[in-house]
Structure 1
Amino acid sequence: MYFLDAATAQQIVDRTMRIIDHNINVMNSQGVILGSGDSSRINSIHEGALLAISQNRTVIIDEGSLQSLHGVKPGINLPLHYHGQIIGVVGITGSPAQLTQYGELLKMTAEMMVEQASSMELEQWRKRQREEFILQLIRHQGPYPDEMHTWAKQLQIDLNMPRVAAVIELPAQATPHTNLRDIQLLLEYPQRNNLVALTALDQLVILKPAFLDGHCWNPSLEDLRIEKLLARLPADTKGVLKIALGHYFPGDGGIIKSYQTACETLAQGKQRAPEQTKYLYQHYVLPVLLSGLGDDWRGQELAAPFKLLQQRDRRGVLTKTLRVYLQHFGDQQRCADALYIHRNTLRYRLEKITQITGIELNSLDGLLQLYLGEVLGRLQH
């Protein structure tokens, strides 16, 4: 059942009094005045309204009625209906003989405004339900229970559709005219089957259909779609908005994994390339996959030799040499050329690195451990 609220009641009063040069009162189903052109009457009981509600009819109050009813003035009071139920009363103050022409018109206007307010309220409720469902999707691991399937059906969401997660970050107060709700509307309309929800004051998640070509997951197509989206965004978001695309995972629990990779891709992208706007998982696969080891003892052990090198290398020469050496896959000549040093100098530095870390650089395992240790070292900073 719909309950008339004070905001809607006062809105009815304000709009109708612009047209009708008489005081208007709107009462709820208990006869309490919720809205009035005379603020002193708000929250008082209107006995004429109670009579209109109990008898479900228009009640005319003339001078004679004033003796038997309390909290009333001359006028007419008409019951308001919504889906066959009485939800309140609208009253016009004045001489009943002069107000008859306004009665049904006022009643119809008030009921239309109630219908509109109810529709807006229902739409807001549906949006809240949809957002809460999306938040459940990015938190749920494993198969979906029957309750979620029922909920999805009510919201007309296809749980079987393959989806990939993206996250958008727009710092609060970063732009004078645009906020995340504006971005959300842009993503939802025109309808592209996106599921969009705010996850924080400065971040929202988009669960996008994963198969843009209708057949398989193609990150390149998603990259192009993101570029088109960025071109549509308001000018004041450029330079402050960040977007990251996660990886697609099929099967149960795929959405939460996709969301986690999107969040970690955003974190890695902001750290490594803060000047960029767009970050794609495929460009940050290794640091994203290693990020879970950052605080784990395995990750700490893996990073220990590289950290030791950093501690002993006060000027950073050996650390820089190792990074360049790794970038050139152990090719000493190319590494020496890139550093503008002689090969003998390079050989001396590599020996020092081996002495400090205890790791042989001429073995694949050694190179891999130092490389992963360097990546983890940046993750742990």
Structure 2
Amino acid sequence: MLNYFLLTLTLTGYNLSYYNCYFHYAVAQINLEGVAHMELNTKLAQVIVDRMMKTIPYNINMMNDEGIIIASGDNTRIGKLHTEAIRVLRKNEILKFSHNDLKENVQPGVNIPVNFHDQTIGVIGITGDPQEVTPFALLLKSSTELLLEQQSFQQIEENKQNKLTRFLFRWTQKDIDFDTTKNLEKEALELNIDFYFERTVVIIKCSAKKLLDLRLEQDNFHLNRSVNTQVLICKDLSTVKKCINFAHNHNYRVGVGSTTKNIGKSFYEAQTVIKISTLLDKDYIYYREVKFIQQLLTSDLADKTLVEKFSMLDNTESGTDLLNTLLTYLKNSGNMNKTASDLHIHRNTLLYRLSKIHNLIGLNPHKFTDLFQLFLTLLTYLNHKNPQLKIH
């Protein structure tokens, strides 16, 4: 659009060859980040003035919708009333004046209205011979209005994203009452989301930035739950597999809940997978793999006396080694060779440690019932030891 205005001005006789590329570059460099309001405010106006005055040899003033100078190449004029700008605002038309028209706080030049959504929200003034500065004022008007449109679009999109984020956060709550459900249903309708479509929650432990490489199709949703917890609400199993493959390829921990209309339930399940995987240092993926472990942890079946013994063991270096040995032994389903290999110890050393556990705890790791009790006790101890991972 800027090129169009440049071409138009050239065809009408204005020689802008020296300024064309510089003006276009200056407009492109204006950064709207941090500008929050849909109006010609001081911050945006001064950014535009500063950029443009590096490009053209004329002073620029910008006035708000009350005719007050809010930005200028001449700082002494900021805050003063520009009487001619009031006329421009009232009539919504270009006003030119020469040396013969000098008035208080007014210099020769041109004043042009700035319009946004059929409203006059400000005035641009450039000081100088009207014949010379008018083409620049037209360009500046065009670029300013384009920037305002861009700003408006950015804020609309930001508001939409914020609304979606708030919705997704509440949607992933485990226990929500009837009224909250109805409110969420209404919000989903406004966001064009099928609230009762069955979906699967996938949690990947990584930063939001790392997730940029994972490109999801429409109707799949991403919630940046925390710095290193990304929640993905997937509409189909192919997307779930895509997320799992992405996590594995980047060595990120991943948890998958069940496919259900209850997104809060699926989120809780995926979160449980992550917690138990971290607790036992084992790469579980699906909730069905850890469901029994979760039930054990929430059943309060462990012998509290044994849990206290584990706690005492963990307070010594040798005891911590024994607990780590037991955990590795359990992870490998009692496979002696695999356990010794994972711990980088000799098989006889492993036998010695298991015997030591038997003597200290009173349960034999080689007996199934005792091993199950050791497993339950270790689970309970680790769950209490790590409050941030605690399974409820």
Q: Which residue of structure 1 lines up, in the alignment, with residue 290 of structure 2?
A: 285
SS in 2 for 1:116: helix
2:258 corresponds in structure 1 to 248
Aligned to 1:173: none
Match of 2:5 in 1: none
Please tell me whether the aligned partners of residues 200 and 257 of structure 2 are also in contact (alpha carbons under 8 angstroms): no
Q: Percent identity?
A: 24
Alignment partners' CA distance in 2, 1:39 and 1:350: 80
Of residues 24-33 and 323-332 in structure 1, the stretch that sits farther from structure 2 once superposed is: 323-332
User: Mapping of 1:351-370 within 5 angstroms?
Assistant: 352=359, 356=362, 364=369, 367-370=371-374
**1:283-323 deviations in whole A, cap 9, x for unaligned?**
97169726964xx9x36x54532433664898659878977
Which one of the candidate residues 122, 145, 153 is aligned to 1:111? 145
In structure 2, what is the equivalent of residue 379 of structure 1? 383
In 2, the alpha carbon distance for the partners of 1:63 and 1:48 equals 14
| Alignment match, 1:124 | 158
Note the alpha carbon deviations across 1:87-114, whole angstroms, 9 max, x for none.
1111111122433344433322321222
Aligned to 1:175: none
Q: Distance in 1 between matches of 2:288 and 2:181?
A: 35
1:207 corresponds to which residue?
232
CA gap of 1:303–1:39, structure 2 versus 1, over 3 A, is farther
3-state SS of the aligned residue for 2:382?
A: helix
Do the aligned residues in 2 keep the contact of 1:26 with 1:36 (CA within 8 Å)? yes
How far apart are residue 75 of structure 1 and its match? Answer: 1.6
Q: Whole-Å Cα distance in 1 between the matches of residues 216 and 331 of structure 2?
A: 45
**Does structure 1 conserve the Cα–Cα contact (< 8 Å) formed by 2:49 and 2:61?**
yes
Q: Which amino acid aligns with 1:33?
A: I
Select which of 130, 143, 151 maps to 1:96.
130
| Matching residue's letter, 1:197 | L
What are the Cα deviations for residues 105-129 of structure 1, in whole angstroms up to 9, with x where unaligned?
A: 3322321222122222222222222
Matched, 1:166 2:203: yes
The answer for the alignment partner of 1:307 in structure 2 is 308
Change (3 A) 1:37 1:265: farther
Q: How many Å separate the matches in 1 of 2:289 and 2:152? A: 48
- Alignment of 1:195 with 2:217, yes or no, is no
Which ranges of structure 2 fall in alignment gaps of 5 or more residues? 1-36, 340-345, 386-392
Which secondary structure does the structure 1 equivalent of 2:46 belong to? helix
Unmatched 5+ stretches in structure 1: 171-179, 231-238
Note if contact 1:26-1:88 (Cα within 8 Å) is conserved in structure 2.
yes
Alignment counterpart, residue 136 of structure 1, candidates 164, 170, 178: 170
Letter in 1 for 2:142: M
1:48 aligns with 2:84: yes
**Equivalent residue, structure 2, for 1:223:** 244
Instruction: Provide the rounded CA distance (Å) in 1 between the counterparts of 2:222 and 2:323.
Output: 44
Deviations 1:233-257 (A, max 9, x none): xxxxxx8xx44223225133xx223
Describe the shift of the 1:17–1:185 C-alpha distance in structure 2 as closer, same or farther (beyond 3 A). Answer: farther
Aligned partner of 1:86: which letter?
T
Using the size of structure 2 for normalisation, the TM-score is 0.67
The amino acid across from 1:152 in the alignment is: A
Count of aligned residue pairs for this structure pair:
337
Matched residue type, 2:172: I
Q: TM-score, normalised by structure 1?
A: 0.69
